[in-house]
Each structure stands twice: as structure tokens, then as C-alpha cells.
Amino acid sequence: MSRMRTEFPTTEGILLIRQDGRTMAVHLTAVTAILEAIIVEHPNLELPYATFYGPSTFDHYAVEATGRADRIFLWEGRDPFARPEIEATRAEVEA
């Protein structure tokens, strides 16, 4: 597994936390963040009993952040970052 690491210097930011239809927004006045892209490297072995697994693939991001916050907002309802339903979009196009 390979890691690509990016460090962000201290800056201002917003942290969104979403669970069970509730969203919490935390305003961070000073945050230092480290973002790592976790890459799975599949072996390319040319042995009689091994198979080619393909190119490397992105698995997920690992995030580490420390800082200070001054405000927290909490609201309930639809996720503002949710992807629209494909069927609903298709129905609008066909109408």
C-alpha cells in the first residue's frame, strides 16, 4: 500500500459532520491538517501460479487535523452534499 501525503499549514476552515439526518458545521479558526491518499498497489507478478491484478487503485483518504474552533451550527434535514437521484434527473430530462 502506498501513501501520498499532503500537509496543509495552519489556516481557517469548516468541518462538516453528518449522521442520522443531522449536520454539524464547526468553524475552525486555526487548523493544521494532514491528508493522505491511500493507494493500493496490486502486484504484477509473472509466476505460473500468480495472476495480474491490475494497476494501482485509490482506496480512501486518511485525515488528521488539530486546531481551534469558535462556532458550531447544527441543523436537520437533507444532506446538502448528497448526490441527486439518477432516476429523478432522468425524469426531468424526459419531461
Per residue in 10-46, pLDDT tens?
889 888 888 888 889 999 999 998 999 888 877 666 6
pLDDT digits (tens, 9 = 90+) for 59-70: 888 989 899 999
Sign (positive/negative) of CA torsion 28, 34, 74, 88? Answer: positive
Q: What is the pLDDT of residue 15?
A: 86
Q: What is the pLDDT of residue 70?
A: 93
Contact 17/26 with Cβ under 8 angstroms? yes
Q: How confident is the model at residue 9 (pLDDT cuts 50, 70, 90)?
A: confident
